[in-house]
Structure 1
Amino acid sequence: MVVTAVATSVAAKDERPNKRCTGGFVDEMRSVAMKLHTKDQSKEGEKETRGKPWPKWEPTIDGYLKFLVDSKLVYDTLDKILDQADFPEYAEFRNTGLERALNLAKDLEWFKEQGHIIPEPLSPGLDYSLYIEELSKNDPQAFICHFYNTYFAHTAGGRMIGRKVAAKILNGKELEFYKWDGDLTLLLQDVREKLNRVAQNWTRDEKDHCLKETEISFKFNGDILCLILA
């Protein structure tokens, strides 16, 4: 299935260019995520490749706009959850520098200025936003898994896919979605340390529960990424 191949390529593909040795629970989250990659995507991957590899995709502007719109909805939802902070640990992850919603708003405005019609969000983004919003109210460990995989995937495999898509359909233009203020390596390191501090207060069962949510995160993010091919 194409979704399976896409999901494994988007989620935390390989953090080694950004990664410092931190240890702690973040390394466990990364390990679980990497195992969900296909063998041709990472030497740590354990999944067999199915469908067309993403480097051979033929993206379209319309599909890419659908992907950006649904992605913005998810990042808006994450921002709202963190601002409301139904659980105190959520406040740790406000204003980390990894936020993407404002950058995506700028990109969508640019597309509009080029004469493109900005679509309404579709079911992949709507479904995922609803899922994480409900999850955040009563399952902080599972929610943190989605926070980690969504943001960290974008800084790794997401950036790589963005460059490939831009080269094919945007004449190489770099969108704001793929730009960060400050040193991204340091931003990621700071968030890893916060994740580790929060997880120190979890039981082993709570940590395992968080890790089990990884595959669900892959599926939702993969469905959104598939919109690029729409």
Structure 2
Amino acid sequence: MLSFSQRKARTVVVSATAATEKSKKRYPGEAKGFVEEMRFVAMKLHTRDQAKEGEKEPEGQPVGKWEPNVEGYLKFLVDSKLVYDTLEKIMEKSTFPEYEEFRNTGLERSESLAKDLEWFKMQGYAIPEPSSPGVSYAQYLEELSQRDPQALICHFYNIYFAHTAGGRMIGRKVAEKILNNKELEFYKWDGDLSQLLQNVREKLNVVAENWTREEKNHCLEETEKSFKFSGDILRLILS
């Protein structure tokens, strides 16, 4: 039978082990790198309609039942362009060293959107001015870029990666309904898209290696805001 002092020593060892295990707590996806952590959090905010692994209950009609119109779609494209213009300028200015890694990734969309808007103009459509959802998001990104690189990079990841997945699916559905299946430049990339994405994943993981756990969590916590802003712009398609 253990003496009191032996039992006490054993308790201290067990407590210390538990504390160490707690401090080494693994976050979902952490073993594969920080991008996997971001993806895991993002999937919780996707619906099944948007991604196979989506967990959120859908709000409103599924994309397949949308009844878009060209005017609403143009608002969406114009506001999207403002957001991409803003992000691309932020990376060029590089207020923080992290931003330099995300220049000229091949995922940039501003130039493609400019071509698409010119095409609509040639078809006789009036191109609207940016509206509140796009202006609000662009202003928010500009403010973040000056003071909070972790939060900004969360938006960078979600904007570009979501467009290559659910964004393309939405683009196809809209094209079927109102553009005679025309594929816009917004949904085309130069080179192998999967390789472009992998290159950016690797850069994101390297950048995040220099962050503390608190900074990583702060980045992840920004995901919901990113979805809110992007969702407001997406809903312009139905306006």
One-letter amino acid of the counterpart of residue 122, structure 1: S
C-alpha change, 1:114 and 1:42, in structure 2 (3 Å) is closer
Alpha-carbon distance between aligned partners in 1 of 2:136 and 2:44, rounded to the nearest angstrom: 25
The offset of 1:45, in angstroms, is 2.9
SS of residue paired to 1:202: coil
| Residue 110 of structure 2: aligned partner | 101
**Does 2:130 correspond to 1:151?**
no
Q: Which residue of 2 aligns with 1:70?
A: 79
Structure 1 residue 87, shift from structure 2 partner: 0.1
The verdict on how the C-alpha distance between 1:158 and 1:41 changes in structure 2, with shifts beyond 3 A counting, is closer
1:45 aligns with 2:54: yes
Task: State the partner residue of 1:226.
Answer: 235
1:186 maps to 195
Q: Counterpart amino acid of 2:64?
A: P
Pairs aligned (count): 209
1:168 aligns with one of 153, 162, 177: 177
Change (3 A) 1:170 1:39: closer
SS in 1 for 2:183: coil
Matched, 1:28 2:31: no
Q: Point out which structure has higher relative CO (alpha carbons under 8 A, 6+ apart).
A: 1
Counterpart position of 2:122: 113
2:114 maps to a residue whose letter is A
| Structure-2 change in CA distance of 1:186 and 1:161 (3 Å) | same
Give aligned-pair identity as a percent: 76
Q: Residues of 1 paired with 2:65 and 2:155: CA distance? A: 27
One-letter amino acid matched to 2:46: H
Structure 1 residues 139-170: Cα deviation after superposition (integer angstroms, max 9, x where no partner): 00000000000000000000000000001000
Q: Which runs of 5+ in 1 are unaligned?
A: 1-21
Report the Cα distance in structure 2 between the residues aligned to 1:41 and 1:201, rounded to whole angstroms: 32
Partners of 1:118 and 1:149 lie apart in 2 by 26
Q: How does 1:208-227 map to 2 (within 5 A)?
A: 208-227=217-236
Give how far 1:43 is off. Answer: 5.3
Runs of 5+ consecutive residues of structure 2 not aligned to the other structure: 1-30
Secondary structure at the counterpart of residue 78 of structure 2: helix
1:126 is aligned to: 135
Indicate how the Cα distance of structure 1 residues 110 and 140 shifts in structure 2: closer, same or farther if over 3 A, else same. Answer: same
TM-score normalised by the chain length of structure 1: 0.89
Q: Whole-Å Cα distance in 2 between the matches of residues 41 and 178 of structure 1?
A: 16
SS for the counterpart of 1:93 is coil
Task: Give 1:49 shift.
Answer: 2.2
Larger Rg: 2
Q: Tell me the equivalent position of 2:148.
A: 139
